[in-house]
Amino acid sequence: MAAVEEEAAPLLLETRGLTRHFGGLTAVDDVDFQLPTGEIRAIIGPNGAGKTTFVSLLSGRIRPSAGRVTFAGQDVSRLKAHQRVARGIAYTFQITSIFKAMSARENVMLAAQRRLTKGLIGPPEAELRALADEALARVGLAERAEEAAGNLSYGHQRLLEVAMGLGLAPRLLILDEPTQGLSDEEIAAFIDLVREIAQESTVLLIEHNMHVVMGLAERITVLDRGRVLAEGAPEEIRADDAVQRAYLGG
């Protein structure tokens, strides 16, 4: 009896010919990319490969020079970042984007409020507080909920950004260098957290820590000079000669 083929997950995100020029520099060059629903995907590449520019195009922080971005079957190429957040795309910035004078809890409450406010009517403060405390607990910051965000260590500020992303209840969570500044123990907890998040959201991460990448990603996309150099399962990427030369030091 023939084996039943597993049905492929539907696409959540797709780009076609996505390109971004900065003057005479082409940071992202004609990129075709597909991300199925429910996948953990990593984007890697050498410094200057265009990784952050690429995810900034996905999140709406910058506009494409050419090409399109499709999310959940809809062309979102011209939507602004806050409009894409409303569609379910959350992006934690490579440079921390927290409100440093506010408490950790208040930062997450603000993110949740953006998602839950309908028109001029916002959700009850108790609901926002409960959602914020749940998100902080998931990233290991429950005991620091009252602490001013600016007083947190850099690594904990990165985790706070993840909590803010969770407060948006995203369909797609984009994480840009999330383990930078974390201890080995915190990185191990973060890996477990991303696996948990992936049960409810699709995850796309830029990450230089190859232990994290190889341990988390179902597939890896390698960028080099703004173009896709290779794409495949971790073991395929590890064995790819072009990737070894461009990035992994082989």
pLDDT value for 94? 52
Q: According to CATH, where is 3.40.50.300 located in the chain?
A: 12-88+171-250
* Cβ atoms < 10 Å from Cβ of 117: 12
pLDDT value for 97? 76
**Residue closest to 172 by CA, chosen among 107, 98, 76:** 76
pLDDT value for 58? 97
pLDDT value for 246? 74
pLDDT value for 244? 83
CATH hierarchy code of domain 12-88+171-250: 3.40.50.300
pLDDT value for 248? 56
Q: 3-state SS string over 109-151?
A: HHHHHHHHCECCECCCHHHHHHHHHHHHHHCCCHHHCCCEHHH
Main-chain dihedrals φ then ψ at residue 214, nearest 5 degrees = -70, -25
User: In angstroms, rounded to a whole number, what is the distance separating the alpha carbons of residues 250 and 240?
Assistant: 10
User: In angstroms, rounded to a whole number, what is the distance separating the alpha carbons of residues 209 and 146?
Assistant: 30
Residues of the chain short of pLDDT 70, as ranges, are 1-7, 94-96, 118-120, 247-250
Q: Which two tokens stand for residue 223?
A: 């960028």
Q: Look up the pTM and report it.
A: 0.89
* Cβ atoms < 10 Å from Cβ of 120: 5
User: In angstroms, rounded to a whole number, what is the distance separating the alpha carbons of residues 130 and 118?
Assistant: 19
pLDDT value for 120? 62
